Structure 1
Amino acid sequence: MEPPRGSWLIRLIIFTTFSVIFVGVHGFDPRAYDAEGGKEATCDAVKRTVTLSRTAKGAISKSKDALVVENEETVTIQIRYIDINPTAEKTILMIHGWPGMWSTWAYQIGEFKNDFRLIVPNLRGFGNSTLPGNMRSSGTMQDLVSDMMCVLKHAGVDDVICMGHDWGSQICYEMGRARPDMTSAVVGVSIPYVPAARSFTPTTSYVKFIPRFMYQIFFDEQTTKAVAELDTDIRRSLRAIYRSLKVSTPDGFFKKRDTFLGPFGSKEVRFSLAEAGAMLSEQQILPIIYLTPEEEDYFVEQFEIQGFKSTLYFYATENRYQSWKFPHDQGNHTISLPVLTVNPSKDLLVNWKLVAFVLRSSKYIPNLTTETVPGDHYPHMESPEAFNTVVRTWMSKVGLFRSEPEEKTRAADEL
């Protein structure tokens, strides 16, 4: 179907306007930061082979024998991280989500680099950070927390404010729960705390209530097909995922069990400002409006190092089950630290405020502050000024800018 007359011009004006706004005030050079502050930590990691029962995969599992670890061995992996302002007294650890890289924290790096030391890693399997083995069983929340502990040890840091987005939020929440000896506060962006107090819920159960999580089943059940689709054109894949309230998204996006990018169509025509006179079809995907062209190029190059296969461990049922089982068996689900959860105003995926209410997240975080910032799934990138203001205000309120923080009682190390 031919798009309405003039629609290409409207989309071009929207893209150009907001790109100029973001690019004009930004000026972030990821290559310079990588060259100046890039470091690598050699970390011990567990390479394991597991078998998960059909019950755990297909229904809510209450069986303690649902997962069998067939083999475990310790191997070494490399975790790449950027170290900024290493002489600062206090440190923020910034953890990206999927599909992220350290550079997606550009606006927060610019905001906080003069006040804090910033440790900004690429998670295992992303960029130059390696994966220990099977992505289906060697990427639990506890594995990722262990990686972060290794990075902090390598950097000589023993206390951080953990700031995470998307899956990075879950890593920070788990750090706050299990490693309060190393964590002074948590900032979770877009995703609320998901306590493991209840029975394990496989993805197939909650897509009935959150239909836009169907893509997670595709990633889990048809991983090879998903990787092939995502890796065909990494730039196009990233552009599709890094959406915004200011750019329209096909209605079926995220809702398919047999494809991820299918709703965008199979035809790809690369778009640039030089092609301003070209008609834009529904198959075309605009550049990421809150990244400069140089940032997007760097982002794509980093993803091309390993592709998407090594990043999909978040969605594997085996990893999700192990991530749930560890804290569930421990029985302690409370995060006693100051926690800030920042919700986007209109996430295409789901209403996260409602999810937090259903999960009773606040029950397990006695010192919780919840704020909302305009944006889809990436409020720290879409509305960086509003986001940074919210974070700074909260930090001041809970005393994180003071040289000597208020004395607090920390729970015992649970790892």
Structure 2
Amino acid sequence: MSLARIIRSAMTWGIASFYGSVMLVTMTLGAIRRGPRAFFGYKVRQDRPKCLDDPELGTHGYVRLKSSGLRFHYVAAGERGKPLMLCLHGFPECWYSWRHQLKEFRNSYRVVAPDLRGYGETESPQPFGYWGWPNFSVSHLTNDVRELIEALGYSSCTLVAHDWGGVVAWQFAIDHPDLVDKLIVMNIPHPGIFAKYMSTHFSQFRRSWYMFLFQLPWLPEILVKSFDFEMISDCFKGKGMGCRRRDAITDEDLEAFKYTFARPEANMSGAINYYRAAFKAPPPRSYKGTKVTCPTLMIWGDQDAALEVGLTEGTDKFVPDFTLKMVPGASHWVQQDQPEVVIGIMRDWLK
């Protein structure tokens, strides 16, 4: 390990420990105020919310990938043979975050929304828990997309992605330009921009505190589960991070996302290990000078509490055929917060 990596690792652990200490105090005070039973009283959800089986959203399917052996779950809408639109979700989500797009684009595309590895009904590689983070490197995740396209019977796709799905989509478009006809990313910057921007903008560094917290073992899993997955409620409906449109996420929608992580078979560490691998595993290669050659649309909710609008600047240096569309008043969860606006932007651009 180089000296630079040793220093970077020490700094990461120092910052992570600081935020971990803060959260330990916060969690302890919450447990005292509301009671330990409430703190540890998260529900294991046996029954699926009905919205997950809404036939208007499509049909459920499964494929087993060759190299990993993992069984992937997906929901597909639209006839086989139509062009493939593959939709990749973020954290803490699942395929259901694309419910509006599944219904809207089924007449023009075969729209497929999978659960990414470690999420929902898609299997998580062993070993489980903190020590499984090496299985969630970007190279593993992009290979999943490559094999998934092949398993679905296609040679290329229109790739649509948000948040962590966008991280994977950017790298996939860089590494496999022949497999991506068009790329649509939502509220996630190009990988060549994020690290530099965070190092020069303390406000973004401060917003990214949870990425450092997630480097710690065990504590993040306990935090997410506490008070019956209250963190997920805060993400989608809280005053800071949540959707700006009050009816964007219904109680049933929220229960669907909680069910993703509270099923008897669920492995909370899988989703958090994406962040751990991003810090610990070296990137596939240098991002400097890399290009995304396919036409690319970036959609950005300008009220994102986690990622600043400034992260969109300079993307055209990496993407010659680039279009940026802002969605005023939309949160980080832009495709759920303002689905009609996002669908309109997508449809116009795809034409």
TM over 0.5: yes
Rounded Cα–Cα distance in structure 2 between residues aligned with 1:145 and 1:233: 34
Structure 2 CA distance for partners of 1:292 and 1:167, relative to 1, 3 Å? same
Q: Which residue of 2 aligns with 1:310?
A: 270
The answer on whether the counterparts of 1:91 and 1:119 sit within 8 Å (CA) in structure 2 is: yes
Rounded Cα–Cα distance in structure 2 between residues aligned with 1:384 and 1:34: 16
SS at match of 2:286: helix
Rounded Cα–Cα distance in structure 1 between residues aligned with 2:137 and 2:246: 29
Q: Which residue of 2 aligns with 1:355?
A: 311
Q: What is the deviation of 1:176?
A: 1.2
The answer on whether the counterparts of 2:51 and 2:256 sit within 8 Å (CA) in structure 1 is: no
Rounded Cα–Cα distance in structure 1 between residues aligned with 2:162 and 2:180: 16
Q: Which residue of 2 aligns with 1:336?
A: 293
Q: Which has the higher helix share?
A: 2
Q: Deviations over 1:210-246 (max 9, x none)?
A: 21111111111x2311111111345422111114xxx
Structure 2 CA distance for partners of 1:234 and 1:339, relative to 1, 3 Å? farther
The answer on whether the counterparts of 1:170 and 1:191 sit within 8 Å (CA) in structure 2 is: yes
Q: What is the deviation of 1:29?
A: 3.4
Mind listing any 5+ residue stretches in structure 2 that lack a counterpart? Answer: 1-49
The answer on whether the counterparts of 2:65 and 2:151 sit within 8 Å (CA) in structure 1 is: no
The answer on whether the counterparts of 2:236 and 2:249 sit within 8 Å (CA) in structure 1 is: no
Q: What amino acid does structure 1 have at the position aligned with 2:98?
A: W
Q: Deviations over 1:58-88 (max 9, x none)?
A: xxxxxxxxxxxxxxxxx52121111222324
Q: What amino acid does structure 2 have at the position aligned with 1:30?
A: L
Structure 2 CA distance for partners of 1:345 and 1:158, relative to 1, 3 Å? same
Residue 291 (structure 1) aligned to one of 249, 259, 267: 249
SS at match of 1:131: coil
Rounded Cα–Cα distance in structure 2 between residues aligned with 1:327 and 1:379: 30
SS at match of 2:111: strand
Q: Which residue of 2 aligns with 1:393?
A: 348
Q: Which residue of 1 aligns with 2:182?
A: 185
Residue 40 (structure 1) aligned to one of 43, 48, 62: 62
Q: Which residue of 2 aligns with 1:224?
A: 218
The answer on whether the counterparts of 1:344 and 1:379 sit within 8 Å (CA) in structure 2 is: yes
Q: What amino acid does structure 2 have at the position aligned with 1:216?
A: M
Q: What is the deviation of 1:294?
A: 3.0
SS at match of 1:215: helix
Q: What is the deviation of 1:302?
A: 2.1
Structure 2 CA distance for partners of 1:90 and 1:323, relative to 1, 3 Å? farther
SS at match of 1:290: coil
Rounded Cα–Cα distance in structure 2 between residues aligned with 1:327 and 1:388: 34
Q: Deviations over 1:12-65 (max 9, x none)?
A: xxxxxxxxxxxxxxxx932134996212221245xxxxxxxxxxxxxxxxxxxx
Residue 144 (structure 1) aligned to one of 141, 149, 160: 141
Q: Deviations over 1:328-387 (max 9, x none)?
A: 18x6610010000011121112323x1232xx3210100000000131101111111111
SS at match of 2:281: helix
The answer on whether the counterparts of 1:335 and 1:365 sit within 8 Å (CA) in structure 2 is: yes
Q: What is the deviation of 1:206?
A: 6.8
Mind listing any 5+ residue stretches in structure 1 that lack a counterpart? Answer: 1-27, 46-74, 255-286, 397-415
Q: What is the deviation of 1:320?
A: 3.7
Rounded Cα–Cα distance in structure 2 between residues aligned with 1:151 and 1:119: 10
Rounded Cα–Cα distance in structure 2 between residues aligned with 1:323 and 1:80: 28
Q: What is the deviation of 1:297?
A: 2.6
SS at match of 1:29: helix
Rounded Cα–Cα distance in structure 2 between residues aligned with 1:364 and 1:187: 15
How many equivalent residue pairs? 292
Q: Deviations over 1:96-126 (max 9, x none)?
A: 0111100011111121112110111000110
Question: Cα RMSD between the aligned structures?
Answer: 2.9
Larger radius of gyration: 1
Moved more, 366-375 or 165-174: 165-174
Q: Which residue of 1 aligns with 2:78?
A: 85
Structure 2 CA distance for partners of 1:371 and 1:242, relative to 1, 3 Å? same
Rounded Cα–Cα distance in structure 1 between residues aligned with 2:181 and 2:202: 37
Q: Which residue of 2 aligns with 1:67?
A: none
> When the two structures are superposed, what TM-score results if normalisation uses the length of structure 1?
0.64
The answer on whether the counterparts of 1:161 and 1:186 sit within 8 Å (CA) in structure 2 is: yes
Q: Which residue of 2 aligns with 1:60?
A: none
SS at match of 2:214: helix
The answer on whether the counterparts of 1:207 and 1:214 sit within 8 Å (CA) in structure 2 is: no
Q: Deviations over 1:174-229 (max 9, x none)?
A: 12111111110100001121228x9x7798x5784421111111111x23111111
The answer on whether the counterparts of 1:194 and 1:361 sit within 8 Å (CA) in structure 2 is: no
Structure 2 CA distance for partners of 1:213 and 1:186, relative to 1, 3 Å? same
Q: Which residue of 2 aligns with 1:49?
A: none
Aligned positions of 1:67-216 closer than 5 A: 75-133=68-126, 134-195=131-192, 208-210=202-204, 211-216=206-211
Q: What amino acid does structure 2 have at the position aligned with 1:346?
A: Q
